[in-house]
Chains A and B, each alone.
Chain A
Amino acid sequence: GESVGLHLPTLSVQEGDNSIINCAYSNSASDYFIWYKQESGKGPQFIIDIRSNMDKRQGQRVTVLLNKTVKHLSLQIAATQPGDSAVYFCAENIGSGGSYIPTFGRGTSLIVHP
């Protein structure tokens, strides 16, 4: 699973490129996942979610892929813009039904160069 506490890996891309951010989760029983974007000095902001009965979900410029076999999530951002620069976290929801507890992965710092 994710090693919470280690420093964030960084992904640098050029404006207009597509970005792929990866995340490994720890609990095979997790069945609901969310990607968050966190800008400096702010709280996490919801981007997109996916349930375990799906392997792909698309939003506006973003796509999340879920591979339950290897416990892996990815977030794809199309046509990355400077405003996308932030830290991205995946969160697995551990628990069941109304007792979900969001547990965060290590996070990736995305830097978009104009």
Chain B
Amino acid sequence: GAVVSQHPSRVICKSGTSVKIECRSLDFQATTMFWYRQFPKQSLMLMATSNEGSKATYEQGVEKDKFLINHASLTLSTLTVTSAHPEDSSFYICSARKGGLGTEAFFGQGTRLTVV
């Protein structure tokens, strides 16, 4: 099966610092990766879509300068939360798609970010 690994699984950081979250497709090449944010007892909200080698496409209301996404290779995408604040505390989930028509997206295990 297709495995997507997300690291770290949990992180606590101080307000004003930046945090990087990695998303790796371990056994396939991901042409497209997605980043989601999930608040407790709520659904996953798409933040951005990134294609390898090009700039990410951000959803309306998501600050691209705050949530920096890099998809430098077919197996790695990173999300950096810059100048984090307590309201950025959330569960961040990445997803990777192999490419082709209608292929499912495989999800990482998520990263619990707590900003103190």
Interface residues in chain A, defined as those with a beta carbon under 8 Å from any beta carbon in chain B: 2, 4-8, 31-32, 34, 36, 41-46, 49, 51, 89, 93, 97-98, 100-107, 109
Tell me if B's interface is mostly helix, strand, loop or mixed: strand
> Which of B32, B43, B105 interacts with A2 by CB under 8 Å?
B43
Q: Given the known A-B contacts A51-B102, A97-B101, are A6 and B34 also in contact in the complex, defined by CB atoms under 8 Å?
A: no
Tally of contacts, chain A with chain B, CB under 8 A? 70
Q: Which residue of B lies closest to A106 (CB)?
A: B43
* Complex Cα–Cα for A81 and B100 (A): 35
- Tell me if B43 and A5 are in contact (CB < 8 A): yes
C-alpha spacing A38/B45, complex, angstroms: 14
Nearest chain B residue, comparing its CB with the CB of A103: B46
A79 CA to B102 CA, complexed, in Å: 30
Contacts A102-B34, A103-B46, A107-B42 aside, 10 further interface pairs with beta carbons under 8 A come to A5-B42, A6-B42, A31-B102, A42-B110, A43-B4, A43-B93, A45-B107, A98-B101, A102-B105, A104-B43
Q: Mark B93-106, 1 if CB is under 8 A from A, else 0.
A: 10101011111111
In the bound assembly, the distance between CA atoms of A45 and B109 in angstroms comes to: 9
Residues of B in contact with A, size category: 20 to 34
B6 interface contact, C-beta 8 A? yes
Q: A5 to nearest B CB, angstroms?
A: 6
Name which residue of chain B comes closest to A42, CB basis.
Answer: B109
Write 5 A-B pairs (CB below 8 A) sorted by A numbering. A5-B42, A43-B107, A44-B107, A98-B32, A109-B41
Interface centre among B31, B32, B107, B110 (most CB of A within 10 A): B107
* CB-CB nearest in chain B for A109: B41
Instruction: Enumerate chain B residues within 8 angstroms of A42, measured Cβ to Cβ.
Output: 109-110
